[in-house]
Amino acid sequence: MAKQLNGADVAKHNKKDDLWLIVHGKVYDLTEFAPNHPGGSSILLKYGGKDATEEYEPIHPPGTLEENLSEDKCLGEVQPDTVEKLEQKNPEKAVLQPGQIPPLSQCLNLYDFEVVGKQVLKPTAWAYYSSGADDEVTMRENSNVFGRIWFRPRILRNVSNINFATTMLGMKTTMPIYITATALGKLGHPDGEKNLTIAAGKTGIIQMIPTLASCSFDEIVDARINDQQVQFFQLYVNSNRAITEKIIRKAEDRGVKGLFVTVDAPQLGRREKDMRMKFDDTGSQVQNEGKDDVDRSQGAARAISSFIDPSLNWEDLQWLRSCTKMPICLKGVQTWEDAVLAAEAGLNGIVLSNHGGRQLDYARAGIEILEEVVTALKARNLWKPTFEVYIDGGVRRATDVLKAVAMGAKGVGIGRPFLYAYSAYGPDGVVHAINLLKAEMEMGLRLIGAPTLADLTPEMVDTRALGSHINPVPESHGSQIYQRLDTAIGMPNEPTNKL
């Protein structure tokens, strides 16, 4: 039996040169480790001598402490009733408490989950999930761009039987949508990414497991509903290549069917909504200048990502290839030039993505890039079934999916909506979201006159405005004076005031 420590004694070790913390009932000596903590040492100091479990939990997958600390740093177990409860000033509260969440059946589309998610998540979690880089222009463009693509539906085709099953990297899926990798799943729900695994299994679609999951890789794989369930793995390459190699081999061993290497995030982006949340408990006493506080105010995103190797480049692909027999795709390609390089390098596919608008602001949307990529690949005779092109970002409607497929995408990834769905409703929420998409898919294909995905052709979309990044000339003073017809004299019975 482990050594038993008293909370009051532990509490005394709360200084930079004598720093203990309690996590999951165990006491750790972090004095030596603190300067190397990827999230900075000040957050450790804040919890010095205290129980940090609640803050620790969603950010660190199981096993993190064990992997990073030598065994002797675990000093023993704390006697639970001797630990002082942390009193939070202004504890974070979601708008809606569990009993107030609307019935799942009221969610009619993926946007509804976002509305509910906004109210169900704690503000810091909402900030982490919903935020984008800088001014969030790219994040919003990801949705906007679909508005610039319109349909040219065909009529009088037999659309009695609609079938949108397909394959991805040779694996079957019930529709051309996969659950893309997103980080820190436990911020929304104690079961984290496992919610997605279960829902993907039940609905027959593929989940891409994230490197930065809250759950451990094994937990997520173990959550599969059966052995046939297909999973992909999203990879951030570590500066320490041995670690990455170990991860890849493990993924292959555990049956992962595809490796998606993220190439748009040599450094994780600035997300100011997320960053601003961090001031809640430290804002008032800081008034100092310069680089220091720039570093401190980084939010969850950058705390967890310092291991990512910014030197990763095309020449590393050979090494990657040598690590595994899994198909390899690049996630985050943003130009036709790099798409061509990827195809020439013999990779199995690419994801045209800007990382959900969370990395470089004013990066273009995946589906805009898709058009130039397809054109360039075709022109070079690289447009083949063995090189699959995916997009992600801003997909909320089946019509978005149909546009992408008509333009040449093998499938699309969806991320945030499923996070919101399980944050409010657990795996049932994700299943419902997927079923809504399936209902929309069937409707959309029928109305476009394409009974199968193969019948969706480029001529069925009007993409003339796709590359149009315009904004209106600022209005003159005069336009602010104009009095609308309805408010001028009042329409019949002045309804605008009443409605």
Residue 51, φ and ψ in degrees, nearest 5: -90, 110
Shortest CB 331 distance to a second copy, Å: 10
Rounded to an integer, what distance in angstroms lies between the CA atom of residue 322 and that of residue 262?
18
Shortest CB 288 distance to a second copy, Å: 7
Binding flag, residue 152, a second copy (CB under 8 A)? yes
Binding flag, residue 134, a second copy (CB under 8 A)? yes
Question: Cβ closer to a second copy: 8 or 465?
Answer: 465
Shortest CB 357 distance to a second copy, Å: 10
Total residues interacting with a second copy, rule: CB under 8 A: 144
Indicate which single residue of 141, 191, 388, 392 sits in contact with a second copy (rule: CB under 8 A): 141
Residue found under tokens 């595809």: 258
Q: Does 129 participate in catalysis according to the annotation?
A: no
Shortest CB 121 distance to a second copy, Å: 12
Torsion of CA 249, 253, 254, 255, to 10 degrees: 110
Of 11-19, 211-219, 374-382, 390-398, the segment contacting a second copy by CB under 8 A is: 390-398
Rule CB under 8 A: which of 197-236 touch a second copy?
none
Q: Does 112 participate in catalysis according to the annotation?
A: no
Indicate if the alpha-carbon torsion angle 188, 194, 197, 200 is positive or negative. negative
Indicate which single residue of 115, 225, 379, 454 sits in contact with a second copy (rule: CB under 8 A): 115
Rule CB under 8 A: which of 53-112 touch a second copy?
95-96, 100-109, 111-112
Rule CB under 8 A: which of 459-488 touch a second copy?
459, 462, 464-465, 467-486, 488
Question: Cβ closer to a second copy: 136 or 193?
Answer: 136
Residue 384, φ and ψ in degrees, nearest 5: -135, 155
- Tokens representing residue 287 in the block: 């008034």
Binding flag, residue 9, a second copy (CB under 8 A)? no
Question: Concatenated DSSP letters for 404-445?
Answer: HHHHT-SEEEE-HHHHHHHHHHHHHHHHHHHHHHHHHHHHHH
Rounded to an integer, what distance in angstroms lies between the CA atom of residue 383 and that of residue 374?
7
Binding flag, residue 296, a second copy (CB under 8 A)? yes
Nearest Cα neighbor of 231 from 246, 321, 438, 213 is: 213
DSSP 109: S
Rounded to an integer, what distance in angstroms lies between the CA atom of residue 45 and that of residue 73?
16
β-bridge pairing 349-352 and 328-333: parallel
Which of the residues 13, 189, 355, 432 is marked catalytic?
355
Rounded to an integer, what distance in angstroms lies between the CA atom of residue 158 and that of residue 452?
11
Instruction: Cite the DSSP H helix spans in 53-104.
Output: 53-59, 64-68
Per-residue b/e over 165-191, b at no fewer than 16 CB within 10 Å? ebebbebebbbbbbbbbbbbbbbbbeb
Indicate which single residue of 149, 179, 343, 405 sits in contact with a second copy (rule: CB under 8 A): 149
Which of the residues 28, 128, 129, 236 is marked catalytic?
236
Residue found under tokens 């279960």: 198
Of 50-58, 83-91, 138-146, 204-212, the segment contacting a second copy by CB under 8 A is: 138-146
Rounded to an integer, what distance in angstroms lies between the CA atom of residue 73 and that of residue 397?
50
Rule CB under 8 A: which of 257-286 touch a second copy?
263-267, 269-270, 272-273, 275-277, 279, 283-284, 286
Rule CB under 8 A: which of 400-419 touch a second copy?
403
Residue 419, φ and ψ in degrees, nearest 5: -60, -45
C-alpha pair distances (Å), 200 with each of 171, 184, 203? 14, 18, 5
Shortest CB 447 distance to a second copy, Å: 4
Which of the residues 112, 264, 274, 361 is marked catalytic?
264
> How many C-alpha atoms does 441 have within 13 Å on its Cβ side?
25
Shortest CB 206 distance to a second copy, Å: 19
Shortest CB 92 distance to a second copy, Å: 12
Q: Does 24 participate in catalysis according to the annotation?
A: no
Of 4-12, 51-59, 127-135, 218-226, the segment contacting a second copy by CB under 8 A is: 127-135
Of 69-77, 152-160, 181-189, 406-414, the segment contacting a second copy by CB under 8 A is: 152-160
SS3 state of residue 161: coil
Residue type, 142: N
Of 36-44, 207-215, 385-393, 432-440, the segment contacting a second copy by CB under 8 A is: 432-440
Rule CB under 8 A: which of 173-202 touch a second copy?
none
Rule CB under 8 A: which of 313-352 touch a second copy?
313-314, 316-317, 330, 332-335, 337-338, 341
Shortest CB 396 distance to a second copy, Å: 6
**Positions marked active-site:** 236, 264, 355
